[in-house]
Structure formats: C-alpha cells, structure tokens
C-alpha cells in the first residue's frame, strides 16, 4: 500500500484554497496507474514524489491533472514543498519538475518558489471569442490594459483583464466556445482562461479549464506566475502584489506574486487536511 496526503494550498485554514493530493513516495506505483490515481482524486492536480535525478536536489515531482501530465504547476509546487517540510526536509529545497529544477523554501506552513523560465507568448486570441468563452460581454474586457494574451512560463494560459470585479463575478464558462478556442489556439492546456481585475494592491482572479475537467480552479500558481512575468514585461517594471482567487466558488485563496524581468516568485500557505493509503 502507498501513503497519500491531501493539503489545501494557498490558504492557512482547512477547506479553503486548492486541494492537492500528494503521494510522498510514488516509487512503487506502476506508470500506467498514475493518471488513473489522479483521476480518482479528481482534484485539479495530484503530485507524485520520487527520488531526485540529481543527488544534490530534494525530490523529483510529476504532476497530473485529471486528464494529463503537466510539466509545471504552482499549487502542487507550493503544497508539495510544505508537505516535504512537514516530513523533515528543508527549509531550502530544490524540486525537479518538467521545466527543470525549481528553488523552493518551505517552513512553518508557508512556502515560496522562484522560476527563471522565460515568458513565452503564444497567441492573441480574439476578444470576442474570449468573451463568449467566459459568458460575458466584449465590453467587459479591459483592452486598454492589454488584449487577451496566451502566455506562460511553462504552462500556457490566456490572460485577460476585466474592467470590474462585478464582471469577474459574472463569468460563466461556455464549453462550446472553449472547444472553438482550443481548435484555433491549441496548447498543452486546452484553452485555459485566467481572467483578472486590478484593485490596486490586490488582483482578483478566476481560472477556467473545463476541457481539462477543471470547471474552475480555486488557486492557480502557474497562471499567477505567467501573469506576473507578462505584466513585468508589459510595464517594464517589477511587480509585487497578491492575487485573491477562489472567492466566487467558496474556496478563497491568497497567492503572493513578485516578478521582474526573467524572474517570478510565487508564495503561499498550505495545511494538511487528510491522509491515508492507496489500497491498490
């Protein structure tokens, strides 16, 4: 039997944030079962931990959504780092992911990681399509800030700023438009949308990826990293803010974000809510 842990990530309190299943020692699991296990948990991601390929590093992570393996994701990196710290590692750690090693620090229920993966801008999906996918009016999109932009630092998201918090709350994903968008703008995620509004020292955000069986994600660190890198490049200055996500679905999350040219740091808290054993 194989042990598992469940952490709520980007929250200090249970039943908030984003749920993460962690297999702290996945070495005995057959390859063909990994996707099935992630599907069984049915969280937005499940993290499988292995011995690192480089002995100087802490661990190697493989991350699965309910439908696919992804090279990088933020809340599994934060949550797994905190779980490893709770198991006696750290506080300084290097975690091997599909995008390369990530420097991480975790202690006392908090963690932060830094990535230097370059920002990749993949496409500028048309605003009308984005509005249809989000179930809002085209006029709700703040084109003055920037057009909808598909970009990522390891995992792509379409980044769209809305004019108001009320418009953000009105978002109602329309799957047919997501399918159209995925056909026109394919990526390693299926037209995932990270939509936000700016309220000064705080950004409010939501993330939808219904084609990946993630109708809405309570906290998306990889999308936050993409947005930070994008805004730092767009404005030509450093970014330091926090992102509130998950509030509209009853799982409030707080993501710390710092970004400069060529560097993004994501921080947050996590707490263990469950543990058990796989009996397969």
Q: Which residues carry out catalysis?
A: 45
Chain centroid to CA 150: 15
The set of residues, in sequence order, having a beta carbon less than 8 Å from that of 232 and lying 6+ positions away, is 238, 239, 259, 260, 261, 264
- First-to-last C-alpha distance (Å) of the chain: 7
The residue assigned the tokens 């438009």 is 177
Residues 165, 173, 79, 57: is their CA dihedral positive or negative?
negative
> How far is residue 180's CA from residue 211's CA, in Å, rounded to a whole number?
11
Burial group, residue 170, by CB count within 10 angstroms (0-12, 13-18, 19+): middle
Residues 109, 154, 189, 65: is their CA dihedral positive or negative?
negative
């Amino acid at each position: 039997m194989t042990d598992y842990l469940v952490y709520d990530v980007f929250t200090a309190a249970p039943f908030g944030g984003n749920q993460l299943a962690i297999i702290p020692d996945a070495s005995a699991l057959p390859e063909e079962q990994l996707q099935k296990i992630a599907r069984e948990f049915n969280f937005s991601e499940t993290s499988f931990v292995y011995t690192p390929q480089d002995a100087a590093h802490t661990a190697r992570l493989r991350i699965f959504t309910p439908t696919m393996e992804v090279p990088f994701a933020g809340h599994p990196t934060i949550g797994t780092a905190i779980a490893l710290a709770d198991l006696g590692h750290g506080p300084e750690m290097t975690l091997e992911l599909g995008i390369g090693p990530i420097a991480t620090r975790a202690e006392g229920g908090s963690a932060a990681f830094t990535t230097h993966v370059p920002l990749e801008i993949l496409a500028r999906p048309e605003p009308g399509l984005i509005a249809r996918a989000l179930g809002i009016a085209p006029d709700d999109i703040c084109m003055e800030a920037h057009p909808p932009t598909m970009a990522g630092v390891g995992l792509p998201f379409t980044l769209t700023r809305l004019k108001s918090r009320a418009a953000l709350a009105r978002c109602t994903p329309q799957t047919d438009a997501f399918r159209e968008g995925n056909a026109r703008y394919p990526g390693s995620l299926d037209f995932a949308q990270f939509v936000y509004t700016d309220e000064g020292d705080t950004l409010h955000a939501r993330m939808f990826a219904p084609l990946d069986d993630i109708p809405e994600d309570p906290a998306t660190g990889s999308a936050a990293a993409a947005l930070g890198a994008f805004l730092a490049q767009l404005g030509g200055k450093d970014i330091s803010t926090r992102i509130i996500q998950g509030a509209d679905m009853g799982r409030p999350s707080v993501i710390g974000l710092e970004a400069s040219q060529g560097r993004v740091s994501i921080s947050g808290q996590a707490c263990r809510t469950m543990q058990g054993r796989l009996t397969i």
